């Protein structure tokens, strides 16, 4: 089944795929660049457990020693978590060189989608996606995640996007590229740490079943590209909008002052926000990832029916 010479599918993941059972992909940039050790490893392992509890098999994705991995062992997850920023953050453009020189790579949303599709995995859970950055009209900083959603057939469950991005422009970009943006139980795009952003999603769908039906129709029509499911952070874990928006504004300001750019921008902003909020944002971040893992597993279960 796997004829791709660069790809290693973990035995449990392979068995599930061959039996048509639900599988959920997970990214690894969130492990090595999105959270500090040891919370990153703890969170990654808990996410896998939550996916199992909801009836699916987890497949954490990364590049290790130049091999594209769909499904990591606990040792491999710990390795990436400890190595942290020393693992190269790998988006689409990084794959050829990392593979050729047998290097490690932490997969972003874009690269996780690519490897998930190679493995035959259709559903992927993460925290937040990259998007159009504030000021992109001059910096042209637009995440490769958006292009990937346009061309790769994987459903991505996230908690919306952080307002480190320009949310309005991010939605415009997705519209241009034909990516459906679904709100799970909401008409409003969630803003990661908070449930509301002031921007409307394309469609509100209220059940994993209806989301799976829409994605099945997309696949059935051979419409290229993915689907973005935005899942609001549970009320009890959401942050005070004034506090978090101030932290984000300050972080964006500091990044500008220091001339942070390119692939460093997103990790810099995430770490800065965590520092400013004294760890509150990290606690919320972990909770919303768990919430997304649960929904993704339920969608994968419906899709496998």
d(Cα 146, Cα 164) in Å, to the nearest integer? Answer: 15
d(Cα 76, Cα 83) in Å, to the nearest integer? Answer: 11
- Per the annotation, the verdict on 162 as an active-site residue is yes
For 141-159, letters b (16+ CB in 10 Å) and e give bbbbbbbbbbbbbbbbbbb
Q: Looking at 54-62, 142-150, 177-185, 250-258, which segment touches ligand PSU (CB under 6 A)?
A: 142-150
166 binds Mn ion, rule: CB under 5 A = no
Which entry of 27, 48, 294, 302 is annotated as an active-site residue?
27
**Do you find a cis peptide bond into 99, omega within 30 degrees of 0?**
no
Look at residue 30 and give the partner it binds from ligand PSU, Mn ion, none, a contact being a CB closer than 5 to 8 Å depending on partner kind: ligand PSU
Residues 195-254 contacting ligand PSU, CB under 6 A: none
Q: Closest distance between ligand PSU and the C-beta of residue 76, in Å?
A: 17
d(Cα 212, Cα 214) in Å, to the nearest integer? Answer: 5
Closest by CA position to 50, among listed 298, 302, 303, 305: 298
Look at residue 34 and give the partner it binds from ligand PSU, Mn ion, none, a contact being a CB closer than 5 to 8 Å depending on partner kind: ligand PSU
Which residue among 9, 23, 24, 29 contacts ligand PSU (CB under 6 A)?
A: 29
Which residue among 263, 272, 274, 298 contacts ligand PSU (CB under 6 A)?
A: 263
Which residue among 130, 180, 190, 226 contacts ligand PSU (CB under 6 A)?
A: 130
Contact track, Mn ion, 112-151, x by CB under 5 A: -----------------------------x----------
Rank residues 110 and 286 by Cβ distance to Mn ion and give the closer one.
Answer: 110
Which entry of 48, 117, 148, 162 is annotated as an active-site residue?
162
What is the separation of C-alpha 140 from the centre of its chain, rounded to a whole number of angstroms? 21
- Per the annotation, the verdict on 27 as an active-site residue is yes
Q: Closest distance between ligand PSU and the C-beta of residue 11, in Å?
A: 26
The interaxial angle of helices 241-258 and 280-303, nearest 10 deg, is 100
Which residue among 270, 293, 297, 301 contacts ligand PSU (CB under 6 A)?
A: 270
Distances (CA, A) of 42 to 26, 38, 48, 91, 170: 14, 6, 10, 24, 31
The conformation of residue 127, written as its DSSP 8-state character, comes to S
| Residues at the site binding Mn ion, with contacts judged by CB under 5 A | 141
Residues known to be catalytic: 27, 162
């Amino acid at each position: 089944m796997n004829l791709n010479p660069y790809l290693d599918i973990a035995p449990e993941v392979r068995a599930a795929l061959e039996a048509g059972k639900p599988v959920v992909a997970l990214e690894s940039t969130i492990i090595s660049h999105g959270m500090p050790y040891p919370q990153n490893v703890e969170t990654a392992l808990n996410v896998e457990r939550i996916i199992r509890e909801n009836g699916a098999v987890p497949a954490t994705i990364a590049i290790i020693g130049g091999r594209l991995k769909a499904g990591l062992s606990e040792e491999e997850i710990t390795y990436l978590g400890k190595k942290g920023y020393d693992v190269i953050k790998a988006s689409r453009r990084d794959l050829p060189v990392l593979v050729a020189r047998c290097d490690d790579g932490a997969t972003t949303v874009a690269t996780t989608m690519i490897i998930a599709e190679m493995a035959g995995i259709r559903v992927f859970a993460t925290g937040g996606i990259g998007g159009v950055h504030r000021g992109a009209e001059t910096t042209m900083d637009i995440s490769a995640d958006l292009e990937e959603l346009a061309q790769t057939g994987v459903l991505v469950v996230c908690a919306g996007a952080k307002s480190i991005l320009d949310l309005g422009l991010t939605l415009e970009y997705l519209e241009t590229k034909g990516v459906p943006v679904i709100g799970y139980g909401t008409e409003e795009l969630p803003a990661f740490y908070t449930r509301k952003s002031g921007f409307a999603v394309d469609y509100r769908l209220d059940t994993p079943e209806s989301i799976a039906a829409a994605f099945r129709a997309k696949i059935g029509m051979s419409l290229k590209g993915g689907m973005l499911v935005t899942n609001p952070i549970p009320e009890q874990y959401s942050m005070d909008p004034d506090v978090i928006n101030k932290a984000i504004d300050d972080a964006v300001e500091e990044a500008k002052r220091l001339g942070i750019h390119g692939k460093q921008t997103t990790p810099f902003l995430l770490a800065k926000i965590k520092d400013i909020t004294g760890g509150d944002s990290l606690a919320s971040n972990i909770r919303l990832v768990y919430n997304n893992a649960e929904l993704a597993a339920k969608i994968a279960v419906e899709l496998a029916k």
